[in-house]
Amino acid sequence: MLQFRNLIKASIKSILKNRMRSLLTSLGIIIGVGAVIVMVAIGEGASERIKNNIASLGTDLLMIRSGASRFGGVSRGVGSAVGFTFKDVDEIKERATTLKAISPLVRSAGQVIGGGNNWNTSIEGVNTDYQYIKSWEIGAGEFFTERDVRGRRKVCVLGHTVAKELFPNSNPIGERIRIRNTPFQVIGVLKEKGQSGMGQDQDDVILAPATTVLYRLKGGIYVDMIFVSAISTDKIYEAEQELTTVLREIRDVKPGDDDDFSIRNQAEITEMASSTTEVLTLLLGSIAAVSLLVGGIGIMNIMLVSVTERTREIGIRLSIGARERDILTQFLTESVLLSAIGGIIGILLAFLITYLLQTFTTLSTVIKLDIILIAFSFAAAVGIFFGFYPARKAAKLNPIEALRYE
Amino acid sequence: MNKIIETKQLTKTFYLGDIAVHALRGIDLSVEPGELVAIMGSSGSGKSTLMNLLGCLDQPTSGDYFLDGINVNSLKKDEYAEIRNHKIGFVFQGFNLLPRTSALENVELPLFYDRTLRIKNPKQAAIDALARVSLAERMDHEPNQLSGGEQQRVAIARALVNQPAIILADEPTGNLDSRTSVDVISVFQELNDQGITIVMVTHEPDLIPYAKRVIEMRDGIIRNDYLVEKRRRAKEDLAEMATLQEEV
Ligand SMILES: Nc1ncnc2c1ncn2[C@@H]1O[C@H](COP(=O)(O)OP(=O)(O)OP(=O)(O)O)[C@@H](O)[C@H]1O
Ligand SMILES: [Mg+2]
């Protein structure tokens, strides 16, 4: 026990003797451990947020797209995917019995000028049901009506962010704005929703009648997507079934042929999103792990230099009765101590960085105990693994040759 | 009488590629307690090789070596280390102190590797050893703050601290001027007076009168082995040198 205490004391002394070099050696480990923890914390933060959003969004939502391709994937077969029109939307509404709400989505984006400011944002052309489907609440003014949609009226509802950017000090209701040079009248402002699970600002949006956006802004005849709500959460599967039947009829899909559209429910979407963040977490984590490995190689490098440099010292120790084992443990203790100290500093650094990220950016982070333990043990293991070879090299030195070493 | 060192036909051959260098060709040597032996001989005659064998830093090619009654040749590596730690105090030409480490810690170092813990208070033992070489008041100094002679005294204290059976010194005055050499020899003489057995290698004929016995080596064998007749006291000579210097 006394021996062990002496060993630790001697190692600390030798580390302190070369303060600068010790710090540089540990730097690889510090950065490695810090990076692993921060990266995984960011990934965990993102997926945590997505999970929270599942609960808040409700699960009665279905999204329909033309084309048989995966959501978000590359669409196969160019000609096969005829888009949906407003007529399709009406027809679905008429036939389906399991739906509570349905809205097309026509997406556009561009510069908006108003109140003497301009802002780049996305414009979503929708109908009145959309407010319910996405649980948007009106903060001021009102949402547009069926009549506005039918009449292709140039009215719009601003998201909280857009309202703030264009009219920081005044009431936007009733004001005129220009969306990509087309004048619109602001009739309402949405209540603030905050960030989505993916870290996007959900309030950075303008809602306008789908017809207006399609015909006056975007052009063409197809909508991008159709959003529906099932009559209740537990009817979501039936709704999906019914929609499939109806859509196949509408689109004349022959029996045996594949659907030329796809329906996704909220669960699938969030699952996809969180699996993306899981991949992200894994990716970030493994990049960081590589840096930890590089840090370990740095330790080995310095320990090898140190062994060469201290050949004489090793010779002296051997000549006064140190056993191979003593030299081995001494150098091993040093490298493990170096990496352990580096690991601890790395952990502290990670806490600092995540704190800064949390306070000064929109990223949310979650540090889990297990990742700290994993990163730290990995660092210590790196110390043992990469310290062993130099330590063994030191222990195997011949005392006479070591003493003669200049 | 119990011999401290006894070698029987000790040989050592180095191989440099195909060439065999016969550094030692059969050494029969015995040293008894209380001796102060000086080994002389031209460069390359095998003095250091012999000292390394006696100091258990190296193993002989053939022959037997008994140290304090133990047949060293039959020992394992770790036991070798233990012998070095318990039985031998080695003093080198180049001092070989740990840099940036205080004199006290340097002297304590052998006790650090003594697993028997037979010396109860290592720090006190180290201070005592430094006192025996008259350096107790410099124990906090690091090697680069000490003169060559002082560094060699620290090295001697380190060799002493384990209460070894014998002190082996390979050209301990090789890096020192003649006055400091006599100074170091006076330390050896004092320790020898206290009963410590010492074997040292030296190149300087001037130092012969301070030893009790001289061994001359040539080409890896002992050529001559005799007792010193006109012995001198290093301490007296030092005092004389001091008064001479004052007169000048
Ligand atoms: N490790 C070694 N490998 C090969 N040859 C060696 C080795 N060590 C010593 N020798 C050879 O053995 C012979 C004796 O060397 P040793 O060092 O014992 O001489 P020495 O008497 O101490 O000389 P010096 O007075 O110069 O120190 C020399 O010829 C030397 O070249
Ligand atoms: Mg020599």
Within 10 angstroms of residue B180's Cβ, the number of other Cβ atoms is 17
Reported as a pLDDT band with limits 50, 70 and 90, residue A105 is: very high
Average pLDDT over residues A22-31: 87
Residue B112 host element (H or E): helix B103-112
The pLDDT of B205-233, averaged and rounded, is 95
**Is residue A79 pLDDT above 50, yes or no?**
no
Instruction: Spell out which residues of chain B touch residue A399, defining contact as CB-CB under 8 Å.
Output: 57-58
Neighbours of ion ligand 2 (CB under 5 A): B 48
Say what angle helices A311-319 and A266-309 make with each other, to 10 degrees. Answer: 70
Chain B window 148-207: which residues touch A at a Cβ cutoff of 8 Å?
158, 162
Ligand 1 atom at shortest distance from the alpha carbon of B12: 12
Ligand 1 atom closest to the Cα of residue B203 is 25
Query: Cβ of B112 and A403 within 8 Å?
Result: no
**Model pLDDT, residue A58:** 56
Q: Whose CA is nearest to atom 7 of ligand 1?
A: B14
Do the bridges between strand B213-218 and strand A61-66 make them parallel or antiparallel, or are there none, so unpaired?
unpaired
8 A C-beta contact, residue A222 and residue A31: no
Neighboring chain B residues of A326 at a CB cutoff of 8 Å: 81, 113
Ligand 1 atom 3: residue of nearest CA: B14
Of the candidates A2, A325, A400, the beta carbon closest to that of B58 is on A400
Tally the C-alpha atoms within 13 A of residue A123's C-alpha that lie toward its C-beta: 27
The three-state (H, E, C) secondary structure of chain A, written as one string: CHHHHHHHHHHHHHHHHCHHHHHHHHHHHHHHHHHHHHHHHHHHHHHHHHHHHHHHHCCCEEEEEECCCCCCCCCCCCCCCCCECHHHHHHHHHHCCCEEEEEEEEEEEEEEEECCEEEEEEEEEECCHHHHHCCCCEEEECCCCHHHHHCCCCEEEECHHHHHHHCCCCCCCCCEEEECCEEEEEEEEECCCCECCCCCECCCEEEEEHHHHHHHHHCCCCECEEEEEECCHHHHHHHHHHHHHHHHHHCCCCCCCCCCEEEEEHHHHHHHHHHHHHHHHHHHHHHHHHHHHHHHHHHHHHHHHHHHHCHHHHHHHHHCCCCHHHHHHHHHHHHHHHHHHHHHHHHHHHHHHHHHHHHHCCCCCCCCHHHHHHHHHHHHHHHHHHHHHHHHHHHCCCHHHHHHCC
| Number of Cβ atoms within 10 Å of the Cβ of B188 | 24
- The rounded percent of chain A whose pLDDT value lies above 70 is 91
Task: Evaluate if residue A56 carries a pLDDT over 70.
Answer: no
Q: Which residue has the tokens 């006291």?
A: B233
ipTM of the complex: 0.94
The pLDDT confidence band at residue A4, using thresholds 50, 70 and 90, is confident
* Residue from A19, A319, A329 whose CB has the most chain B CBs within 10 Å, to mutate: A319
Pocket test for ligand 1, best of B12, B19, B21, B27 (most atoms within 8 A of CB): B21
Alpha carbon A299 to its chain's center: 32
Q: Are the beta carbons of B200 and B164 closer than 8 angstroms? A: no
| pLDDT band (50, 70, 90) for residue A75 | very low
Best residue among B39, B42, B45 to mutate for probing ligand 1's pocket (most ligand atoms within 8 Å of CB) is: B45
pLDDT number for residue B48: 96
Residue B158 reports pLDDT greater than 90: yes
Residues with CB under 6 A from ligand 1: B 14, 16, 21, 23, 41, 43-49
Query: Tens of pLDDT along A280-297?
Result: 778 878 887 888 888 888
Name the CA radius of gyration of chain A, rounded: 32
Predicted confidence (pLDDT) at residue A82 exceeds the cutoff of 90? no
| pLDDT at residue A133, rounded to an integer | 87
User: CA-to-CA distance for A184 and A108, rounded, in angstroms?
Assistant: 15
Lowest mean pLDDT among A4-18, A261-275, B41-55, B156-170: A261-275
B14 Cβ under 8 Å from any chain A Cβ: no
Contact A324 B57 (CB under 8 A): no
**Residues A321, B57: C-beta atoms closer than 8 Å:** no
Token readout for A25 is 């050696």
- A308-312 long-range contacts (CB < 8 A, ≥24 apart) are A310/A394, A311/A397, A311/A402, A311/A405, A312/A402, A312/A403, A312/A405, A312/B96
- Name the closest residue on chain A to residue B58, using Cα atoms: A400
Distance CA B97, CA B109 (A): 10
Rounded Cα distance, A120 and A322, in Å: 73
Ligand 1 geometric centre to CA of B236 (Å):
35
Q: Average pLDDT, stretch A23-45?
A: 87
For chain B, domains (ranges, CATH) are 32-62+73-247 (3.40.50.300)
- From chain A, pick out residues whose CB is under 8 angstroms from the CB of B156: none
What is the mean predicted confidence (pLDDT) over B18-43?
96
Q: How far does the centroid of ligand 1 lie from the alpha carbon of residue B35, in Å?
A: 25
> How confident is the model over B88-123, as pLDDT tens digits?
999 999 999 998 899 999 999 999 898 888 888 999
Cα dist from A17 to A13, A20, A295, B142, whole Å: 6, 9, 21, 13
Q: Given a cut of 60, is residue A80 above it in pLDDT?
A: no
Q: What is the pLDDT of residue A78?
A: 42
Q: Does B114 touch chain A (CB under 8 A)?
A: yes
Tally Cβ neighbours within 10 Å of residue A47.
Answer: 20
Q: What percent of chain B has pLDDT over 70?
A: 99
- Please say if the pLDDT value at position A349 is more than 70: yes
Q: How far apart are CA B156 and CA B183, in angstroms?
A: 12
The pLDDT of residue A68:
62
Please answer yes or no on whether A3 and B115 come within 8 Å at the CB atom.
yes
Could you give the angle at which helices A324-360 and A2-17 cross, rounded to 10 degrees? 60
Supply the mean pLDDT for chain A: 86
Q: Tell me which residue in B110, B115, B117 faces A320 most closely, judged by beta carbons.
A: B110
- What is the pLDDT, as a whole number, of residue A199? 65
- Give chain A's contact residues with B (Cβ, < 8 Å): 2-3, 6, 10, 17, 312-313, 315-326, 399-400, 403
pLDDT at A310: 87
- Which protein residue's CA is at the shortest distance from atom 26 of ligand 1? B43
Q: Tell whether the model's pLDDT for residue B36 goes beyond 90.
A: yes
Among the listed residues A52, A44, A54, the one whose alpha carbon sits nearest the alpha carbon of residue A363: A44
pLDDT at residue number A54? 63
Chain B residues with beta carbon closer than 8 angstroms to that of A315:
96
